[in-house]
Amino acid sequence: MKKIVSFLFFFLLFSACHLGPKYQKPSVDDAPTEWKGPEQAVKTPDVEFWWEVFEDEELNRLESQAVKHNPSLYVALERVIEARAKAGVSFANLIPQLTFNPAYSNLSTKTDLSGLPHEGSGIFRLHQINYIMPLDLSYQLDLWGTYRGQYNSAVFHAQAQEEAYKVALLTLTSDLASAYYLLRTLDAQLDVLQSTIEMRKNAFEINHSRWEAGLVNYSDVSRASLEYTNAQAEFSDAKRLRTIQENRIAQLLGIPSSSFTMPHSPLKNAPPEVPAGLPSTALLRRPDVAEAERNMASQQALIGVAKAAFFPQISLTGAIGLASPDLKNLLSWQSRLWEIGAAAAQTVIDGGRNSSNLDVAWAQFRQASGGYQAQVLLAFGEVENSLSNIEWQALQFASLQKSVDSAKLTTSLSSERYNKGLVTYLDVVDSEREELQVEISALHTLGQRYISTIQLIKAIGGTWVVSASDVLKKSTEE
C-alpha cells in the first residue's frame, strides 16, 4: 500500500509540467510619447458613460435603449458566456472523474453432470448472479501540461471574447451617436433648404408678376422657376437621407424601422473637446488591442499542448465498492471490493502528425502575434487621423462661417442692385446659389466635427465606455 501511495504522490507532484514557451505580455514601453497631431488640452470629463460628454438627453436615452435591446450586442454577450462555459469544460479535465456504476448480472450456462456417479446428476442450467455497487475513479495524469495548456488557452480565449464584447459595445454606441448627429445635421440642412424654398418661391412669384407687367424678360421668370424647383429637389434628397439615418438608428436600437420616428432637432452648437491622453494609455484602453493580445496568449498556450503529444500519456484507474452474488449480503463488510491500476500509452509511429500539429500551433501563434502588431498600428493611426480631422475641420468651419456671412451680404447687395436695374437677375441667382452652398457646407462640416469627435473617443477605446463585466452581470441577472 505504501508503494501505491508513493506512486500516486510522484505522479501528482510532477503533473502539470508545462512544455511550451513562457508567455510575456507585450510591453507598451515602445509606444510614442506624444501624438503627432495637436491634442486638445482639456480635463477628462467626469461622466459614467462616454456619450454623456455631449450633454444630450435624447442621445443618452437612445444609447441606453440600444445597449439593452440591440441583437448583435446580445450575440456578443452570449459568445462571452459560451467561452466561459468552454473554459469550465477544459478545467474538468484536470480533475479526477468519479462515477457510481451500480449493476446487476445473471449469467445462465448449461452444465452437463450426467457422467457423475451420484444422485441428481444430469444436464441442468447454472445461474451466476452478481450484484455490484462500485465507485469508479479515472484520472489522466497531466504530466506534460496537456490539459493545463488547453485550460489556459480556453481561459485566455474567454478573456478575448470579453474584449470582443467591449469592441461590439463600443462600435454600437459610437455608430448610434454618429447616426444621431448625422440626422441632426440633416435637420439643420432641411431648415436652410426650407427657408431657401420659401425665398425662391417668393422670387418666382415676384418675377412672374413683373413679367406680366412687362418689366422683365421671361428668362428671369424661367430662371427663378428653375432655382425654385432645384431647391425642392435638394430638400427631397435631404429628406431621403434623413429617413436612411432614422432607419439606421432604429436598427441599432433593435426595433422595426416602420414603427420608429425621430423628432426634428437641428444641430446648432459645436461638439465638446475631449482629451486623447498618452499613446501608451490608448493602447491599454482599446478593447480590440486587448482582444488581439488575449488571442495571442491563447494561441501560445496551445504550443505546449502540441509539444506534450510527443510524450507518453499515463492514466490511473481505481474502484471501491460492494459486490455480492446475494442481494441480502450486498451491504455487508465482507462484500467490499477495491481495485487500482495504471496504464501508459506512447505513440511510436504517427506519420508526422505530432510534428505537423506543432508546426500548426507555432504558425497560429505567429499569426496572432502579427494580428496584435497590426491592431496596435491601426490604433495609433486612428487616433492620429481623428486628431487631425478635429483640428482642420474646426478651422474649416470657422472659415465657412465667415463665408456664410459674406455670401448673405453678397446676396443682399445683388438683390438691391437688381431692383435698381444695375445688374441682371443672373447675378442674384449666382449669389443665392453661393449662399446656399456655403451654408450647406458649413452645416456638413459641423456635423463632421461631431463625427470626428466620436471617432476620437472610439479610437482611444471609449475612455468612458461601460465595462463588459458590468453589462454581463446585469444581463445574466435579468
**Is residue 23 situated within a structural domain?**
yes
Which is higher by pLDDT, 90 or 24? 90
289 & 219 share domain:
yes
Write the DSSP assignment of 303-355 as a string of letters: HHHHHHTTS-EEEEEEEEEEEESSGGGTTSGGGEEEEEEEEEE--S--TTHHH
| Residue 7 forms part of a structural domain | no
Pick from 15-24, 87-96, 139-148, 349-358: least confident: 15-24
> Where is average pLDDT lowest: 24-33, 43-52, 292-301?
24-33
Residue 361 pLDDT exceeds 60: yes
Q: What pLDDT sits at residue 325?
A: 79
Of 277, 246, 472, 291, which is closest to residue 386 (Cα–Cα)? 277
List the one residue out of 102, 101, 96 whose CA is nearest residue 137: 96
- Number of other CB atoms surrounding residue 368 within 10 Å: 20
Contacts within 8 Å (CB) and 24+ apart, 422-425: 424/220, 425/207, 425/216, 425/219, 425/220, 425/223, 425/224
User: Is residue 83 situated within a structural domain?
Assistant: yes
Confidence of residue 120 (pLDDT cuts 50, 70, 90): low
For range 84-105, the mean pLDDT? 90
Tell me the pLDDT tens digit for each residue of 313-343.
888 888 888 787 777 777 788 877 888 888 8
Return the CATH number at 428. Answer: 1.20.1600.10
DSSP assignment letter at 290: H
- Pick from 289, 324, 345: which residue ends a domain? 345
Amino acid at 58: E
Angle in degrees, CA 235, 241, 246, rounded to 5: 120
Is 118 found in the same domain as 42?
no
What mean pLDDT do residues 192-221 have? 89
Q: What is the pLDDT of residue 443?
A: 95
463 lies in a domain?
yes
pLDDT band, very low/low/confident/very high, at 103 (cuts 50, 70, 90): confident
Give the residue numbers spanning the domain of 240.
15-94+144-311+353-477
Based on the fold, state whether residues 105 and 180 are members of the same structural domain.
Answer: no
* Structural contact between residues 184 and 269, judged by C-beta atoms closer than 8 angstroms: no
Asked whether residue 460 falls in the same domain as residue 322, the answer is no
Q: What is the mean pLDDT of residues 79-94?
A: 94
On whether the CB atoms of residues 271 and 59 are closer than 8 A, the answer is no
- With pLDDT > 90 as the criterion, what percentage of the chain qualifies? 49
Residues 53 and 184 in one domain: yes
Confidence check: pLDDT of 1 > 80: no
Q: Does 159 share its domain with 182?
A: yes
Is 409 part of a structural domain of the chain? yes
Residue that is written with C-alpha cell 433648404 in the block: 193
What torsion do the CA atoms of 283, 286, 292, 297 make, to the nearest 10 degrees?
70
Helix, strand, or coil (residue 253): helix
Q: What is the pLDDT of residue 468?
A: 46
How far apart, in whole angstroms, are the C-alpha atoms of residue 473 and residue 72?
18
In this structure, what C-alpha cell is assigned to residue 95?
Answer: 480533475
Q: Which stretch, 12-16, 161-165, 420-424, 466-470, has highest mean pLDDT?
A: 161-165
Structural domain includes residue 10: no
Residues 442, 302 within the same domain: yes
With bands split at pLDDT 50, 70 and 90, how would you rate the model's confidence at 464?
very low
45 assigned to some structural domain: yes
Query: For residue 195, is pLDDT > 80?
Result: yes
Is 335 found in the same domain as 299?
no
Task: Please tell me the least confidently modeled range out of 17-21, 341-345, 375-379.
Answer: 17-21
Instruction: Pick the closest to residue 193 from 233, 243, 221, 224 (CA basis).
Output: 233
Signed CA dihedral, 8, 9, 10, 11: sign only: positive
* Structural domains counted in the chain: 2
Q: What is the CATH number of the domain that holds 333?
A: 2.20.200.10
Residues 307 and 274 in one domain: yes
Average pLDDT for the chain = 85
